[in-house]
Amino acid sequence: MRSGGTTWLRAAVLLLLLVSSSAVAAEGTKTGSKAHNYEEALRKSLLYFEAQRSGRLPHGQRVPWRDHSGLTDGLEQGVDLVGGYYDAGDHVKFGLPMAFTVTMLSWSLVEYGDYVAAAGELAHALEAIKWGADYFVKAHTKPDELWAEVGDGDTDHYCWQRPEDMTTSRQAYKVDRENPGSDVAGETAAALAAASMVFRDSNPHYAHLLLHHAQQLFEFADKYRGKYDSSIAEVKSYYASVSGYKDELLWAALWLHRATGRADYLDYVVDNAHDFGGTGWAITEFSWDVKYAGVQILAARLLLRGEHTAAQKETLERYQAKAEHYVCACLGRNRNTDDDDESSNNVERSPGGMLYIRQWNNMQYVTNAAFLLSAYSDYLSDAGVATVTCAGGLTAGADEVAALARQQVDYVLGDNPRGVSYLVGYGAKYPARVHHRAASIVPYKHSKQFIGCTQGFDHWFGRRSSNPNVLVGAIVGGPDRKDRFRDDRENYMQTEACTYNTAPMVGMFAKYNKMARDGREQRLATARSPVTSAAAEV
């Protein structure tokens, strides 16, 4: 029997190896590349925010080619506005996209903070949030006053300079009672409310300060209603509030409810659901301007968790229906009941599978969609719900929602027809000519010779060579609807990076790093199983 038993065992081991090999081959075919190093991606994504810092840089600054800049911001107006972030490749501090960046960074930690900590990056993530939150506390100079912009886009775009050499206008612009800005005040309230949750355990005094400012800003935004681009004309050409301010009011109220648990904030979201478009708008994008999909998913979370009264349930169900319209739009599952074109109900996909909204900085919609899809799939899983209901009667599995989020993240990291990582500094092939003033000019610390406004254009902008500084962690605008990408500094629609492209990916990289680590541990446990031990004996 000994010989026969050994023969059987050899056959079993061979079968096990064949099955394992087949599974690995199938996995490789499915992803189209080797497994990604999400921990590296997470680490690099947080570096990017240090490259975007304005103000006096701290001793722990890890991006060596940046130095102090914007040290007189607010001086002419008699207010300290030093600090904050440059939103992209220029040097204007735009309040609305900066606040959205902080909201998404904070949401990343609210959902996946433990995973960020497990990767050893919690301190850096908290620093990234605090750098923006500190600035907003400064900019909120009175209960009904918020400084919403520093610098002027028109004059800034005429120059190609390092931030350390800036000669452009640093005029500051505010919203107040006479010149309201409910959208920028509302988004800033959301950012500070979300950030307060992040710091609640590690720095409760600071968390309380942030929450205090968030509540005042929400009251200001709600009481004195108006679009900020009607009060600040200079912002219209760059960050106009196309969706208006009602989505930001709902968004802020939901974040304040989550941060405080106060019933009146949820009452606000329910009472204004119809009039503010929360249960009316069926949206196919989520961005610094259009928050409705995020509002609807946060409201659906409350329904799934049962955190509501009986009277609020019906309204929250309408919110959830719109949330699932967005999810199904990304999956391409919404169907019209009539003969109308269904493309308006679904998001276009490139041949390589990238969600495509529009040609200018499309990657912002990809990364933000990945986050919403991931968060919603987690909410469904926590509630034990397996399916999503799409317009027209189709359904989708919660696992499909999670898989689409993962696929979009992997597309960004290089699983695309060009094999390009759109996360700068990650992978073997990534954009080398990012449209970014500081990255494209010799570092100030290496050459402190002043570079003038037009000199930067003449000597640096038009160079065909790679940027002298790698903008590690930046996510550029990305490819077009056919997956085509031209790595050219002048091609700003595709090669300019923005803070709100990278912010949601902090949470995504942390989550997938945790999943990868759990998978490795599971494989190690399998390797120690009795069958494998017997194989080793044979």
Q: Which residues are catalytic?
A: 435
Which residue is it, tokens 């007189």? 72
Indicate if the alpha-carbon torsion angle 433, 436, 437, 439 is positive or negative.
Answer: negative
Indicate if the alpha-carbon torsion angle 362, 363, 367, 368 is positive or negative.
Answer: negative
Pairwise CA distance, residues 82 & 319, whole Å: 40
Give the contacts of 275 (CB within 8 A, at least 6 positions apart).
246
284 phi, psi to nearest 5 deg: -120, 15
Instruction: Classify 175 as helix, strand or coil.
Output: strand
- Of 313, 296, 210, which is closest to residue 256 (Cα–Cα)? 210
Using DSSP bridges, classify how beta strands 395-397 and 355-356 pair: parallel, antiparallel or unpaired.
unpaired
Pairwise CA distance, residues 152 & 235, whole Å: 8
Pairwise CA distance, residues 403 & 399, whole Å: 6
Longest dimension (CA), the chain: 94
Give the contacts of 70 (CB within 8 A, at least 6 positions apart).
54, 55, 82, 83, 91, 93, 150, 163, 166, 170
Q: Are the C-beta atoms of 197 and 259 separated by less than 8 Å? A: yes
